[in-house]
Each structure stands twice: as structure tokens, then as C-alpha cells.
């Protein structure tokens, strides 16, 4: 039986909260759909159709894919933005439906652990929710 979309969204929020707990300098962990709709953050699980931050993620990763293809590198697997006060990591994931994980860490020295934690998260979420996360996105 498929999970109720809201249940899977709450489950994803709990996973995002656990991800943040693993990284002491994590400021934000969020999942958005590929077309820029928020699915859940580490703090809450309510989607917000007007969220521009999720839309910006979608634009960034779409441009990253386009740039990667221009250089015959196929699709982008990571996008890392090194900023003065920290690092943003965006990782597309999802077998059934593509989604985007955003991890914001307030310490640029922690890029390695952030990449590793983001990869673990996306593998675990895919295994745990699979089709259900697609339904959560569709319901958002």
C-alpha cells in the first residue's frame, strides 16, 4: 500500500532533520521537485508553491545540466556553490521522479562531509520512499 503523500512528506522532513543533525554547521536541508516546488525542509513539511528558493534551485540545476551537456559531460550530478560564508550543495536524485536536495552548510571547510552526507541521504530516501515521494511531489 502506498504511503499517504503527507506521511511521506513528513518522513522526508524527519530525514532532512537527521541530515542536519549529522552536520553541526548545516543551516538548511530541503528537497524540491525538479520544476521548483518545495517538497519539505528540515524544519517543516508543508509545500509552498510560491517559494522562489526552490525555483532558483530548479533553474540552477537545469542550467548546470545544459552547461554539462555542452561540454559532453552528460547530466550534472552535483552543483556546489562556494560562498564567502559557507557552501551550497545541490544534488539531483530520484529514480521514479527527479528531485533536488539542497544542503546549506555555514562552513566552507566542510564540503567533503556535506557531499558525503548528501549522497547518503539521496540513496536512503530513494530506497525508503521511492514511488511515494513521487506522489508527495505530485500532491504538492
Partner 1 sequence: MGPYRIVFAGPIGAGKTTAIQALSDIPPISTEVASVEAEAVGKQTTTVAFDLGQVLLENGDLVQLYGAPGQARFDFMWPMISENAIGAVILADNRRPDTIELTVEYVREFAPRITAGNCVVGVGRSDLHPKPGVDAYQDALEAEGFAIPVMEVDIRRKEHTLLLLDVLLARLEATHDGA
Gap between the Cα atoms of 66 and 79, Å rounded = 12
**Whole-number Cα distances in Å, 90 to 6, 106, 138:** 24, 15, 21
At CA 117, angle to CA 110 and CA 50, rounded to 5?
Answer: 95
**Whole-number Cα distances in Å, 63 to 44, 74, 94, 122:** 28, 12, 19, 21
DSSP state of 2: P
Return the number of the residue (37 or 89) whose C-beta is nearest partner 1. Answer: 37
Q: Is 97 in the site for partner 1 (CB under 8 A)?
A: yes
Return the number of the residue (34 or 126) whose C-beta is nearest partner 1. Answer: 34
Return the number of the residue (20 or 93) whose C-beta is nearest partner 1. Answer: 93
Q: Is 73 in the site for partner 1 (CB under 8 A)?
A: no
Q: Please, what is the minimum distance in Å from the beta carbon of residue 107 to partner 1?
A: 27
Q: Please, what is the minimum distance in Å from the beta carbon of residue 34 to partner 1?
A: 4
Which residues in this chain contact partner 1 in the complex, by CB under 8 A? 33-37, 49-52, 54-56, 58-60, 62-63, 65-66, 97-98, 137-138, 140
Amino acid at each position: 500500500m502506498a504511503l499517504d503523500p503527507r506521511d511521506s512528506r513528513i518522513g522526508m522532513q524527519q530525514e532532512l532533520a537527521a541530515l542536519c543533525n549529522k552536520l553541526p554547521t548545516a543551516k538548511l536541508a530541503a528537497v524540491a521537485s525538479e520544476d521548483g516546488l518545495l517538497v519539505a525542509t528540515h524544519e517543516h513539511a508543508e509545500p509552498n508553491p510560491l517559494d522562489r528558493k526552490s525555483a532558483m534551485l530548479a533553474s540552477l540545476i537545469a542550467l548546470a545540466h545544459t552547461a554539462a551537456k555542452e561540454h559532453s559531460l552528460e547530466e550534472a550530478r552535483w552543483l556546489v556553490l562556494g560562498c564567502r560564508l559557507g557552501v551550497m550543495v545541490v544534488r539531483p536524485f530520484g529514480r521514479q521522479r527527479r528531485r533536488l536536495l539542497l544542503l546549506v552548510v555555514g562552513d566552507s571547510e566542510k564540503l567533503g562531509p556535506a557531499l558525503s552526507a548528501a549522497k547518503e541521504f539521496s540513496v536512503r530516501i530513494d530506497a525508503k520512499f521511492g514511488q511515494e515521494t513521487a506522489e508527495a511531489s505530485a500532491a504538492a
